[in-house]
Structures are given as C-alpha cells and as structure tokens.
C-alpha cells in the first residue's frame, strides 16, 4: 500500500490508519512525492510547509499508535488556498502587492485543522485577491487544468481544486464569492462544497466581499467533504458572520434525503448550455430522478436582477477591503494585476445608495429562494455553461460560435447561491468534448448541507467520478 497512498481519499486513509496499514508519515511522504512529480506541470502550489507537516505527521503517528483519535481528519494532509494565513508560510493573496509576505498567525480554520490532527502541507495558488475565475497571473505563476493543460482550472481557488484532482492532497480549502469553489471543482473533476454563509469562519483569511465570501472544501468524495465540514464548522467570536448554531454534526446522509423532492429551475440557467454540457446535465438529472423521483420545474421571479446586485455588493465591499482594511489602494495601484486593477477602478464609483439598493435586492432573492424551497427540497442546476477558457486567452471563450467573456459562461449559474448564502455542492457527472470534467450543483435551503451532501452522494454512486488525473506529458 505505501506506494499508492497518495491516491487514497480521507476515509480510506482513516481506515488504513485504523488497521495499521499506513502511518501519517508514510502518507505525507507519498503526497510530497506526488507533488514533486506533477506540480511542475500543474502549478497548484505556491509554497510547501513540508518541515512543519513532517513534525505534525510524527505527532499524529505517535497518537494513533497510542489509540488517540482527534477526529475524522487525524493524519490527513490538507492544503490551503493562498488567502488563508498559515503561520510561517508565504501567503501573498495571489498578488504582487504582498509578494513574499510571511503570515505570523494561523487563520481560524487552520487552527481548527491543526487541533483536529490534520497535516498542513502547503499553500495553493489563487487568482489575485480571489477576484477572478481563471487562476492565471502574468508574474505570480498560474495553475493549469490537469485534464487539459491548455485550459484554465477555473478559479479563484484553482490551485486547491487541481491539487485534489491530481492526488497531491486528499483535501483542500478554498473560498467562494461567486463560484470560486464550485467552478474549479467542476472543471477539475472533484467535489466542491460551498457551505451556508457563516458556517465556516473567515477570520484570518483575506475577504474579497465580506457578505458574499464562503470558505469551502474540496475533496475527492462526498465523504471527504462531510469530514471537512465536521472539523471546520462552528462559531467564532472573531467573525460576526458565524453564530452559535454554526457547528455541523455528522449524520446519516442517506436518511436525510429519504423522500427528498428534486427541483429544476430553468429561470436560473444563466446562459444557454453548450451541447455537450447540456447532455451531461440532462444525464445527471435523469440519474437523480431514478433515485428520488421526477424533478419538479419551479419558477424563480426576476432572475435578471441577481447578477447586477451581486456585482455592486462585491465591488463596494472589495473596495472597502483594499482601501480601509489593507490600505493598498490607490497607493499601490501600479502593483495590481492588469485584470484586477480595472475592477478596483470601477469599484470606486459605487455609491452608498447603490450598495444599499443591491443589499435590498439580495434580501428579495433570499425570500424568492425560501418560496422555492416550500415546494421542493433541493435544486439541480449546471455549474458552468461550457468548457473553460484557454491559458493563452483566459479572459475569453468561444460559445455557440461567439467569443464572449469567460465570466459570462459561469457567473449566472453560481452567483445566486452566494447572494442568498445557501449551501451548494458541485458534483462531477461527465467529461466534455475538450476532455474537461462537467459538473452539476445541488443547492439546498439555508443550513441544510445534509440535503445537498445527501443528494450529491447519491449522484456520486450513480455516476462515479474519476478518482484523479495526471497531467499529460
């Protein structure tokens, strides 16, 4: 077993530890070996914390030998997006503005991972300031899609998704403001969970948009997502978005979805799907219906108001982050990347009235979702309308014979869940015509990750995703 330990998911590693067939030190060595083998091509990591991870692995191995079990991630290697502070590691938020910055403290979620016995392996590449969907940068390095290295992996958490997809780590953390967990999960063929807003603390992580940001989890299996959620969820006095009911206890996911009512909501299909993506979506819906019964079609009024409201809130809150909290704009404007700088310039024009009106619209969107969930329990929607852009031209993509901005291909599908704060899980269901995975997302009511994960696990059983991939030589 030691030779293929990098290929095991969190549950399989837990079982191997329980049976004494592997140790955390062997698993860490296997993951570091896998990183050395494939990451020069993929570019998932910005830095490794291998020395401290080895010390953690030795402690975990000793505890396991003595029968000490700290939880479902004890001895499991984990990577963190370059937005979460990891003590002693370079965490630059994907930007030249903070190039070489060494974090002096752990983010709250990193502290929870360490307390649970996880092995912190390193920091994964992110789109600059998490403000983009491609994880490409002219000077800070880029991540490639492991299924087709001419394509982007999605973003902004592209490094975390690619690391899990290639077996570099079984679990990784990202963040999601408008799809930044679900989009790269979809394009890299792994499971990606955006929990309910406030379920996971943002303390110690850079916030692009405080009311839209959701820390999230990547794993190879739904079981891995559930393990991560169990460890990471909970109230944090340093983060007012969390609350006393933020903790999440493991439950029987099969029982949670007994009798579940599926819903389809064409009004939230942001853009016409490419033919191969349409076929994959319909196949996934048919598979879900075979397990749960026919999906009801439900209406969602005024969907056209969602994206404008989200954009205004994101811009206003990002501008506050960079001017008041970081203090880097406009004084260091020349150090910002060519794609992020114009976003900051436009954000400066958002007024308080615009922000308050957009916040009112967000509340109306939440109420529309509440009405939808009175007639169905979960929604099945696509994650993206077509394949990812190329690394050569990351900002644009051809769709139905027209060249459009890449962001238009995805945001209409993923933004609604951020505006409403709802849990949503990306589940791989196929591969498209350019060899890149396709996913659907399962969205559930506020606080009902059990429903999203339960339906996702049934889809995982019916349409088994590929376990991992390796870059083509």
Residue with tokens 């219906």: 289
- SS3 state at 119: strand
Question: Omega before 52 cis (within 30°)?
Answer: no
Cβ atoms of 42 and 31 within 8 Å: the answer is no
Active-site choice (175, 180, 201, 241): 180
Active-site choice (156, 175, 201, 209): 156
Cβ atoms of 444 and 401 within 8 Å: the answer is no
The length of the chain is 473
State the Cα angle at 140 between 324 and 239, rounded to 5°. Answer: 35
User: CB under 8 Å to 308, separation ≥6 — which residues?
Assistant: 358, 361
| Segments in 251-305 forming alpha helices (H) | 253-256, 275-292
What is d(CA 419, CA 306) in angstroms, rounded to the nearest whole number? 8
Cβ atoms of 343 and 317 within 8 Å: the answer is no
Cβ atoms of 47 and 122 within 8 Å: the answer is yes
What is d(CA 380, CA 266) in angstroms, rounded to the nearest whole number? 10
What is d(CA 414, CA 51) in angstroms, rounded to the nearest whole number? 38
194 is an active site residue: no
Cβ atoms of 230 and 266 within 8 Å: the answer is no
DSSP state of 90: B
Cβ atoms of 64 and 17 within 8 Å: the answer is yes
156 is an active site residue: yes
- SS3 state at 172: strand
Cβ atoms of 82 and 46 within 8 Å: the answer is yes
Question: Which of these, 156, 166, 226, lies nearest to 190 by C-alpha position?
Answer: 166
Pairing of strands 214-219, 171-176: antiparallel
Sign of CA dihedral 28, 32, 34, 39: positive
Cβ atoms of 237 and 140 within 8 Å: the answer is no
Residue 351, Cβ neighbours under 10 Å: how many?
10
The residues assigned a catalytic role are: 81, 156, 180
């Amino acid at each position: 077993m030691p030779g293929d330990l990098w290929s095991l998911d969190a549950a399989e590693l837990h079982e191997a530890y329980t049976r004494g067939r592997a140790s955390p030190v062997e698993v860490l060595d296997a993951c570091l070996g896998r990183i050395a083998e494939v990451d020069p091509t993929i570019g998932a990591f910005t830095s490794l914390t291998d020395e401290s991870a080895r010390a953690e692995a030795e402690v975990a191995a000793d505890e396991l030998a003595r029968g000490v079990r700290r939880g479902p991630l004890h001895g499991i290697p984990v990577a963190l997006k370059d937005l979460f502070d990891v003590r002693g590691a370079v965490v630059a938020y994907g930007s030249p503005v903070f190039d070489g910055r060494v974090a002096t403290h752990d983010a709250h979620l990193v502290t929870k991972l360490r307390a649970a016995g996880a092995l912190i392996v390193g920091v994964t590449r992110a789109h600059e300031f998490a403000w983009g969907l491609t994880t490409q940068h002219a000077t800070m390095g880029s991540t490639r899609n492991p299924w087709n290295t001419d394509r982007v992996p999605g973003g902004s958490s592209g490094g975390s998704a690619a690391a899990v997809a290639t077996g570099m780590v079984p679990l990784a953390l990202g963040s999601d403001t408008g799809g930044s967990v679900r989009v790269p999960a979809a394009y890299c063929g792994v499971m990606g969970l955006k929990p309910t807003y406030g379920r996971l603390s943002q303390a110690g992580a850079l916030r692009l948009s405080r009311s839209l940001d959701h820390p999230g989890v990547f794993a190879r299996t739904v079981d891995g997502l559930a393990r991560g959620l169990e460890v990471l969820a909970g109230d944090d006095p340093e983060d007012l978005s969390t609350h006393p009911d933020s903790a999440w206890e493991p439950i029987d996911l099969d029982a949670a979805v007994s009798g579940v009512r599926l819903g389809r909501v064409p009004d939230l299909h942001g853009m016409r799907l490419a033919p191969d993506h349409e076929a994959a979506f319909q196949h996934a819906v048919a598979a879900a219906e075979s397990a749960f019964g026919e999906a009801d079609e439900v209406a969602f009024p005024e969907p056209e108001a969602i994206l404008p409201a989200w954009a205004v809130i994101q811009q206003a809150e990002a501008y506050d982050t960079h001017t008041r909290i970081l203090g880097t704009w406009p004084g260091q404007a020349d150090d910002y990347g060519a794609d992020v700088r114009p976003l900051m310039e436009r954000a400066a024009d958002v007024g308080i009235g615009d922000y308050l009106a957009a916040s009112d619209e967000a509340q109306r969107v939440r109420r529309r979702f509440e009405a939808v969930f009175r007639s169905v329990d979960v929604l099945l929607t696509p994650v993206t309308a077509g394949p990812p852009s190329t690394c050569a031209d990351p900002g644009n993509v051809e769709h139905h014979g027209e060249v459009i901005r890449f962001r238009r291909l995805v945001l209409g599908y993923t933004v609604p869940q951020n505006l409403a704060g709802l849990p949503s899980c990306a589940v791989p269901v196929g591969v498209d015509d350019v060899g890149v995975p396709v996913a659907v997302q399962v969205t559930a009511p506020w606080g009902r990750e059990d429903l999203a994960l339960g339906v996702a696990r049934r889809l995982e059983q019916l349409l088994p995703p590929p376990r991992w991939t390796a870059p083509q030589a």
